[in-house]
Chain A
Amino acid sequence: MKKSRKDEALKGYLFAAPFLLYFALFTAWPLYYCIKLVFFQFNLGGEMPFVGLKYVARMCGDEVFFHAWRNTLAFVLINVPLQVGIALLLAVALNSRIAGKAFFRAAYFFPVIISGAVTTILWLYLLNKDSGIINQILGRLFGMAPIGWLTSESLAIFSLAVHATWKNVGFTVIILLAGLQSIPRSVYEAAELDGVTPWESFWRITLPLLNPTFVMVVMLSTMGAFSLFVEPLVMTNFGGPGDASMSLFLYIYKKFSFWDMNYASVLGLTTALVILAVVVLQKKFLEKEPYF
């Protein structure tokens, strides 16, 4: 008996070994090095002198970093509610007794599987001020003058958030739909017999029972929204106009591409810590019962 338990443990470690190796090399060591770069001067190959909080101090006085925060937060605050809201609407509609479900699901999911490199270039042209399809439609339907979606400082982040919503909403729809389908039909049928209106049953039955899925979807969308990178790189030409759409990850990448390793690490670590805190808080405040 004892031998077989030892045997089992050995096998367990053997099976887990590829992951442990991967984790040590590609996650743990990089994380350790990242933290080291906060305090020690970067030097490829040579000795790394201690620099204290020099780079942290630099971050505290960096206006562009604060703009990047403001822009990214604005993006998260527009993108997440829009994405979860629209996804909820579409998922509920898709969960009713209708024909053509497979087609709709496939259509919604399609932008999700396409590279951001492709969809951002596509939207760059859809949102073009003079010839873009979106201004053409708005002009024809409402007689609106062309809008500089990506060239106006006040609109740039909003436009990026609309693109991101369009691109990612399908993923949210699929997960919410799975959550909706795990709610037994009999609950609704019983409610219907009691004369509960569809509107009431949505608020009293659907939403409470969907809570765990809902929380997960909000957390996943938030983490996704914080990693805003390709959109401002491609659609607003490196965070423009000015730095009106400079995002955190784009800024970190910019510092990195100028070989400013220490500073990029400080920015990256700070950003990651705040994102983790936000996601943990969301879980705490939104979740009715612990789920995982």
Chain B
Amino acid sequence: MAERSGMALRALCYVLLTMGALSFLYPFIWMLSATVKPVNEIFSFNPVPSHVTFQWYHLMLKKIPAFRGLFNSLIVSSAIAASQVLLGSLVGFGLARYRFAGRDFIFGIVIFTMVIPAQLTLIPLYLLVTKLGWLDSYFALIIPGMVGGFSIFLFRQFFLTIPQDLIEAARLDGLSDLGILFRIFYPLSRPAIITVGMLSFMGSWNDVLWPIVVIRKWEMMTLPQLITLFQIGGLAGGQVAVQLASTTVMVVPVLLAYLFFQRYFIEGIATSGLK
């Protein structure tokens, strides 16, 4: 009896999970297929096109500098991800491994920066960037995103779990503090590094609000900004497939990175910082 109800429960789980997976994946499959379909098939439920066409991609490239946007996004997001990992791990190391007056207070500020909404500091930040003469430059896109509360928090939590004996031993072997961070902590912290790197990369890659505020020149725009303006500015001329072609350009790099890293990534989020 118990055996049978267990089976029924498991079957129910499968039905639930499969329905979930379908509803999460089907829209993307539809989107990808719509960008290579002839015009009269775009809104069809069936994702298989009668023949494949690349005209929508050609049209999109005529209207917006998508490759330039892709390049800008890659530069900005890579710089931010690298810096968030480096600076986040330095600060996290300091907060996890040294005792000094005000340390807990500083950690309190770290948490505080995680809670305040970005929109609140938007206006003064914009004014600051204007004063510094950074409008329409990579500086405006990169520098305010180089450090983040979440990265510091995640590294600190992760570093706290590394045993003190290991550090003492390394010190006896004559390693400096930075040596301990880079040669002992880094190899042990792969999930944390990948998680911070991926989350910062994606956060910046997907951000629309900040680029819209500080970038006005088409050739400096990031890809999501271009795509959003393409949509709300009516530049796509109501052509659905052109629109979807632009979003596909945006999804594919993230999809590839995700497929490559997702195992570490999801585990990193689930096990390191948020415990």
Q: Which residues from chain A sit less than 8 Å from chain B, CB to CB?
A: 5, 8-9, 11-16, 18-20, 22-23, 25-27, 29-31, 33-34, 37, 44, 89-90, 93-94, 96-98, 100, 102-111, 113-118, 121-126, 128, 131-133, 136-137, 166, 170, 174-175, 177-178, 181-182, 198, 216, 223, 226-227, 229-230, 233-234, 237-238, 249, 252-253, 256, 261, 264-265, 268-269, 271-272, 275-276, 279
Contact = CB atoms under 8 A, between A and B. Distances in A.
Contact of A19 (B23, B87, B202): B87
A121 B124 contact: no
Interface stretch (B26-34, B50-58, B59-67, B185-193): B26-34
Interface in B110-155: 110, 113, 115-128, 130, 144, 146-147, 152
Given A19-B152, A109-B262, A133 B30 contact: yes
A27 B123 contact: no
A253 B90 contact: no
Contacts of B218: none
A96 B13 contact: yes
Q: What are the 5 A-B residue pairs with the smallest beta carbon separation, nearest first?
A: A15-B94, A12-B98, A30-B124, A115-B206, A30-B121
B20 A113 contact: no
B179 to A, nearest CB: 13
Contact of A121 (B24, B177, B244, B274): B244
B146 A113 contact: no
Contacts of B160: none
Given A12-B100, A174-B269, A177-B270, 6 more contacts: A9-B99, A33-B127, A108-B21, A110-B258, A122-B27, A122-B244
Interface of B: 5, 9-10, 12-14, 16-17, 20-21, 23-25, 27-28, 30-31, 34, 43, 45, 87, 90-91, 93-95, 98-101, 103, 106, 109-110, 113, 115-128, 130, 144, 146-147, 152, 177, 202, 205-206, 208-209, 213, 224-225, 227-228, 231-232, 240, 243-244, 247, 250-251, 254-255, 258, 262-263, 266, 269-271, 274-275
Nearest to B21: A107
B89 to A, nearest CB: 10
A18 B106 CA distance: 12
Contact of B122 (A96, A116, A268): A268
A104 B20 contact: yes
B250 A113 contact: no
B43 A132 contact: yes
B98 A8 contact: yes
A234 B232 contact: yes
Given A14-B94, A227-B119, A276-B115, A93 B231 contact: no
Contacts of A230: 208-209, 228
A108 B106 CA distance: 36
Contact of A107 (B5, B24, B87): B24
Nearest to A27: B113
A110 B28 contact: yes
The residue among B98, B101, B115 with the most chain A CB atoms within 10 A of its own CB is B98
Contact of B274 (A11, A131, A175): A175
A205 B87 CA distance: 41
B144 A26 contact: yes
Contacts of A90: 16-17, 20
Contact of B208 (A44, A113, A116): A116
A18 to B, nearest CB: 5
A9 to B, nearest CB: 4
B159 to A, nearest CB: 11
A143 to B, nearest CB: 16
Contacts of A226: 117
B94 to A, nearest CB: 3
Contacts of A34: 120-121, 123-124
Nearest to B22: A107
A253 B115 contact: no
10 contacts: A5-B99, A26-B125, A34-B124, A117-B224, A136-B45, A177-B270, A178-B269, A178-B274, A226-B117, A230-B228
A166 B27 CA distance: 11
A116 to B, nearest CB: 7
A33 B120 CA distance: 10
Given A20-B106, A115-B206, A170 B127 contact: no
A226 to B, nearest CB: 7
A5 B271 CA distance: 33
Nearest to B227: A117
A14 B176 CA distance: 14
A118 B91 contact: no
Nearest to B145: A26
A45 to B, nearest CB: 9
B243 A121 contact: yes
Contact of A96 (B9, B251, B263): B9
A38 to B, nearest CB: 12
